[in-house]
Structures are given as C-alpha cells and as structure tokens.
Amino acid sequence: MAIIYSPPLLVLLGLTPSLFWLFLYLRKDLHPEPRSLIIKVFFMGIVIAPLAVIFQWLTLGTGKFFNPDFQSSESILFFLIAAFIEEVVKYLAVRFTVLNNADFDEPVDAMIYMIIAALGFAGIENILVLFKTLGDITTENPYIIFQVLGLRFVGATLLHALSSAIAGYFLAMSWFYSHHSKKLVTFGILIATLFHTTFNIIILKSALNQDISFYLMPLLIFMAILISILFNRLKKRRLVNTIEY
C-alpha cells in the first residue's frame, strides 16, 4: 500500500525530532522555565530561520561570483560561512526574545534557551529537507522519508542543539564578565561554528564512503560530554557566587 505524505504529515514528522529532544531535555530540568517562554523561543527559532537562508544566499552567492569553486565540496570557507550564519541566527532568536526578559534570571538559562531556539531552527530545517526529499522519492523506496528523518534525528537536529549549547555557555559567562560580553558571545559563536563546520564536512566526506555513524557519533558524543561539563561548571559557579553574596 502506498504511503500518502500530506503536507501536514511532513510538518509533523519534521518537528518530531526537535520535540523529542526538547521534551527529553526539559524533563531533566530541575527548575523548569515558563512554558510560554519556551514556546516563544522555540517558535522564534522557526520564524527566524529564513533569515539564515537570506544571509547564506547573499554571502555565498557573492563568494561564488568572485570564485566559481567557492561552493565546491573542497571549500572549507564555504562550510565555515554557512555554519557561522546559522549559529548567529540561532543566537539572535534568543537575543530577540528572552535576553532582557525578567525570567532570564540565571546564567544557565543562556544554555537552556539557546538549545530551545536551536531545536526550533532544526525543526523547520527538517521540514524543508523532508519536502525536498518527497520530490525525489521513487516507487522503489517510498520509505526514504523515514530514513532521512532518522538520520536528521541523531544527526543535524542534535548537532544544532549541541553547538548552540556551547555558544550559550559563553553567553552565560558574559553574566559574570559583563565588560567582556561582546567578546565572549563572539567567541562562543565561533567555537560553535567550528563544531558545526566539522559536522558538515564529516557528513559530506562520509556520505561518499556510505559510513556516516562511524564518523559522526564520536563528535556528537564528545560535544554532549563537553556540554554536560559546562552545565555543571555554570551551576557550581552560580552556587559559589550566591554563597559569597
């Protein structure tokens, strides 16, 4: 029996990985953020995503104009710029919604909201990928949608959340060093960009060898461990400052 992929179904499927990681993460949050703010930041991550497309189109298109090989698979600069734009846009989703909100009241919130915005961003990205994949489906493999979704679930969606969490850590550090806030935020976005770029390059190279998980999992596991350490450092630092105060 043929599978009918209606637009609402594709939207639901595309959001599923983001919603799964969001619910899984929030269940472990001992001090939950306001639901209204969580929803607001998540949808801002969705709404602001076209901004990344516009910036990428302008920047990468200009690069290709001056250098025809700029968008080739060998151009690391291409991957760096594309990833940098996405990391900046995800940061802006948080900046425009909660950075000056009264509920943004402790450093660790920076990492939390960056993750939420990133999952919203990844959700709309997944939806667009599924719609594109639908146009490429052949009768021999009608289940490719689920294969793509599975790869996005453990790959790109998780990557977006992890890279933004790293940027969020440095945003949180600006809480303690307000006089260096711009430098810290910029540095955090650059570090997130490096991880994001590494992920994209591995995806491209490993796809040629038909062995993605072998290359990706060590990177994602390392990022997850790093973020866990950064979370704990923030919590301990906040506790020490509270006691001293």
**Which one-letter amino acid corresponds to residue 150?**
G
94 close to 43: Cβ distance less than 8 angstroms: no
Contact assessment for residue 122 and residue 130, using Cβ atoms and an 8 Å cutoff: no
Q: Crossing angle for the helix pair 144-154 and 7-27, nearest 10 degrees? A: 30
Residue with more model confidence, 184 or 104? 184
pLDDT (tens digit per residue) in 162-181: 999 999 999 999 988 888 99
Q: What is the DSSP letter of 101?
A: -
Burial of residue 41 (number of CB atoms within 10 Å: 0-12, 13-18, 19+): buried
Torsion of CA 204, 53, 25, 219, to 10 degrees: 20
Kindly report, residue by residue over 189-241, the tens digit of the pLDDT. Answer: 999 999 999 999 888 777 666 565 677 889 999 999 999 999 999 888 765 55
Q: How far is CA 129 from the centre of its chain?
A: 15
Mean pLDDT computed over 151-169: 95
**Residues 6 or more apart from 215 whose CB is under 8 A from it?**
202, 205, 206
The CA angle 204-227-217, to the nearest 5 degrees, is 35
Return the DSSP state at 72. Answer: S
pTM, two decimals, is 0.89
d(CA 238, CA 98): 19
